Structure 1
């Protein structure tokens, strides 16, 4: 199924294993003064109870909200950036894969991601993220278009809205072309590849820059019985790909980045300059003459910022590489009730684009 996956190690939150100069926070301490020190650059260690960390973060949010009053998308991005920088100086101690404070959650990722470290400090928000991810992983997320429960790996993007999956499912059920080979770029949690398999594609090359995505999909293939159907590769776009496909599937990030991207979910949500041009240029070399490129996108960027460019439309207008065969849209419904992601996407529609190579004259 996979080549050289044994050498891939999961990306995990940064930890501190040495002694550090820090303030220990207990519940009876002056929380306002503690947060002031944290904003100024001091480390703070959560002591006694896990909930003490929640108190500090609550005060931090309150303090920063007085400074960052702009409620626009850009203004809130600045607020989140400041909160992230300060909050990651709030630390919690881990010993033998367990939080040392009382009444803390049992986070299974601590054991799976740090089997080689017995004692360390990690930021409180990272623990929150790992805890949330672990809950999703344990309970799974039902994918009705697949009739399976997905168990998403840590720091891997997974869907909490399903309208784009329904669009893809609708197209797959009507597709009557060759199903010999398919490529998925940006496999994520594996949903689209699994949809391809359930619709008759049994030889899929799937790639992702995110190492955790490759590890997670590999484990899911074993669990779901798809290990003979997918070849996984960790790399950028078509790196290490030597096949030509009947169908190339790409669900790219939907918003252009205005910040330095981190590996993992960040790169699944935001794209950098040049991504789409590189994709289209490379796709030409991996698409069979009568093959199709299927791209899932959204008008989210235009909803957020009306002057935002649409990279697929730009490709069709400005380059002579592909023609549009089909364009489907679907209104976006609310997020899964279990997710805590903000649902501020009014007027958003997901899109499915089917492109074919232009015939050379």
Structure 2
């Protein structure tokens, strides 16, 4: 049996134990068996579905092939036990909830194929790649004195993919094609339309007297970089996640913007006021299940509501707050437009303008996607907000 921090198994008649790693916070599997090339994909799928982890002891590339076979079986459409009503199938919020449940079940099943690492992030399997750097970027540096650990192969492949993204970077049109390099667990600005909104929106006139802007929840630092490139003399970029701040620092150094942009580890606002405050909060009010999802899911709209409720107190006279937000939550039935406008009004704010754009990512055009109807209708907006005058607030 295993506890929440360690995984235990028996091998060659001897009890074994290693630390369990999971960036998604998944608990250590309770049942573990040794697996090799004699294990069939069908048998592996049955074991994974039952919650039994398979600790791989053969060729690494064969393990990847087995994981692909598990994914095919997991993604295979299942026959419904009874037909659902047209209304139930058509309800966007029901489709979203079923989509999230399917994603969660898929993740649990595929996480059951696991790999052992030594304390220096090395794998002793045939044809195993050198993953030391990828693991170091996510887990921190290892050393020979650390105990061995076990992680899912699926997570490892995610680390490798993130490492490649970090090396290659994402080209950002709003930065004249220069690249932003996302770190593991920090959302990449692959959807450039929202960045372009920040590039194109008219700057508040109040910046002429005090060229200062705040970027709330900076992530990779891309919006702070865009503001600096637009001529804002000083940008204060905040984030509460150390990974995000390290990522933003790396990108700002690459772009030569460290003298213009100051990073602060804060939840939302710096203590001062500014003529421009920008925020791109997570767009969907739901619970994240992995580090990367924190950039997409905002439980109970905590960050959105925190930004709105605190904005007026951090704006200088004549200043604006720019809220960058998709309306996907509205199309999914997770939040209404009236609710958003009520929060804006209750925060003592008024809308002075709005710029809209339509996303162009692949899922918008994928009619087979479970959430296609909502994605096809999605609009991303930059809401220009200002504090109400005293007479308006009464």
TM-score bin (small chain): 0.7 to 0.9
What does residue 200 of structure 2 align with? 170
**Aligned equivalent of 1:210, options 220, 233, 241:** 241
Secondary structure of 1:256's partner?
Answer: coil
Secondary structure of 1:283's partner?
Answer: helix
CA distance in 1, matches of 2:336, 2:280: 17
Q: Which blocks of at least 5 consecutive residues in structure 1 are unaligned? A: 1-10, 337-341
Q: Which blocks of at least 5 consecutive residues in structure 2 are unaligned? A: 1-20, 81-88, 90-94, 364-368
**Aligned equivalent of 1:281, options 301, 309, 313:** 309
Out of 228-237 and 161-170, give the one that drifted further: 228-237
What does residue 296 of structure 1 align with? 324
CA distance in 1, matches of 2:200, 2:79: 43
Per the normalisation by structure 1, the TM-score is 0.83
Alignment of 1:244-323 (within 5 A): 244-257=273-286, 259=287, 261-262=288-289, 264-273=291-300, 275=302, 276-303=304-331, 305-306=332-333, 308-310=335-337, 312-316=340-344, 318-319=345-346, 321-323=348-350
What does residue 7 of structure 2 align with? none
Pair 1:127–1:41, CA change in 2 (3 A): same
Contact 2:245 2:265 in 1 (8 A): yes
Higher helix share: 2
Q: Which has the higher contact order (CA 8 A, sep 6+)?
A: 1
Pair 1:270–1:320, CA change in 2 (3 A): closer
- How many residues are aligned here? 338
What does residue 115 of structure 2 align with? 92
Pair 1:177–1:193, CA change in 2 (3 A): same
CA distance in 1, matches of 2:76, 2:336: 33
Alignment of 1:174-185 (within 5 A): 175-178=204-207, 180-185=211-216
**Aligned equivalent of 1:334, options 358, 361, 367:** 361
Following TM superposition, by how much is the alpha carbon of 1:265 offset from its aligned partner in structure 2, in angstroms? Answer: 2.1
Per the normalisation by structure 2, the TM-score is 0.77
Indicate the structure (1 or 2) with the bigger Cα radius of gyration: 2
Following TM superposition, by how much is the alpha carbon of 1:262 offset from its aligned partner in structure 2, in angstroms? Answer: 4.9
Out of 100-109 and 121-130, give the one that drifted further: 100-109
Following TM superposition, by how much is the alpha carbon of 1:49 offset from its aligned partner in structure 2, in angstroms? Answer: 2.5
Secondary structure of 1:346's partner?
Answer: helix
Secondary structure of 1:279's partner?
Answer: helix
Q: Is 1:58 matched with 2:68?
A: yes
Contact 1:64 1:79 in 2 (8 A): no
**What's the CA shift string for 1:245-277, capped at 9, x where partnerless?**
1100000111110x3x35632221011225233
Q: Is 1:153 matched with 2:183?
A: yes
**Aligned equivalent of 1:115, options 141, 144, 162:** 141
